[in-house]
Every structure is written in C-alpha cells, then in structure tokens.
Structure 1
C-alpha cells in the first residue's frame, strides 16, 4: 500500500474551484488508474491536500506520469495555484 499526498497552496477565493477539479476527476481516477484505491480532499486554513491511495509506490509514481494527472488535473489546477505543489509518496509497511 502507498499514499500520494499533494499539497496545494490555493487562495481561499479559489478553493471552491480547486475542489471542483477534485470532484471532476475523482471517479475517473478510481476507475482508470492502475492500483488506485482511494482519493480524499483535505481542506485546511493554510492549504488544500489531496491524498491518493494506491496498491504500491510504483502505481503512485505511474499516476504522476499519466495523462490524467499531467494534462487534465494539472492543466486545470495550474491557474489556481499560488506556489508549486508539494508532492510526496509514502510507502506503507
């Protein structure tokens, strides 16, 4: 099991739009990405985090290279971001 955590710094005025991108692609992520097991949106005062569950670290890394992530998700989120996202992969042992 592995987790991919992506922390996004989004102006509070744009958080509704960022949440919309999450909702738009959540089911596609779960249905079409190999090894995907879950996807959760975590909203804090200082940032927004998306926590993705995978069967393996390799699955998480492959998602980061997928067209769904690089073209669709990043393409729609990029105008909303104040800084580069913080991307971390965790291996569950």
Structure 2
C-alpha cells in the first residue's frame, strides 16, 4: 500500500492527450521497475486537465523521483511539447 502520492496535474489540449498518454505508457514500467519506493502510477483524465498519480513508499521517495534522470531527462522532455502551462506538482502523505 502506498504511503505517499505524487500528483502532477498537466494542462494538455484534448488533441494532444493521446500523445501525452503515449509518454505515460512508455515510462510506466521503467518508473515502477527502477524508481526507489515506487508502488503505482495511474493516468487520470478530466475535461479540464490530465493528472498522473504516482504511489510511493514515502514522501521522501516521491521527492527524490522529481530529481531523477528518468523524470527530468525522459518524462519531462517527452511531455514538454504538449504542456499548455507549468504542471502543478504536489506530494501527499497518507494519514
């Protein structure tokens, strides 16, 4: 069970969502298999935005992921062409 969540909310035009979902799909397995403390990764789609919800063993693991090569060199680079605004990034601890 996850003890912390990293929620990244992205403003992406509807026309670009399939491409953004491809980035999510491409890096889901590497995230789960190589990132310390990673327990889950879900893509949530709403009319106004897209959210990627990452589960972790701890808030520290969630914060460390934001500094990882996978996040900065692969995920961010892959999503950048589709972003309409800066992402909203939040880390939550489970009570």
With normalisation by structure 2, the TM-score equals 0.97
User: Of 71, 74, 79, which residue of structure 1 is paired with 2:73?
Assistant: 71
User: Of 50, 54, 59, which residue of structure 1 is paired with 2:52?
Assistant: 50
Give RMSD over aligned pairs: 0.4
With normalisation by structure 1, the TM-score equals 0.99
Q: Runs of 4+ in structure 1 displaced over 6 angstroms?
A: none
Q: Partners in 2 of 1:40 and 1:3 — Cα distance?
A: 11
Q: C-alpha displacement at 1:81, in angstroms? A: 0.2
Q: Partners in 1 of 2:52 and 2:4 — Cα distance?
A: 14
Name the SS for the 2:85 alignment partner. Answer: coil
- Structure 1 segments unaligned to the other structure (5+ residues): none
Equivalent position of 1:87 in the other structure? 89
Q: C-alpha displacement at 1:37, in angstroms? A: 0.2
Aligned residue pair count: 93
- Structure 2 segments unaligned to the other structure (5+ residues): none
Q: Partners in 1 of 2:78 and 2:13 — Cα distance?
A: 15
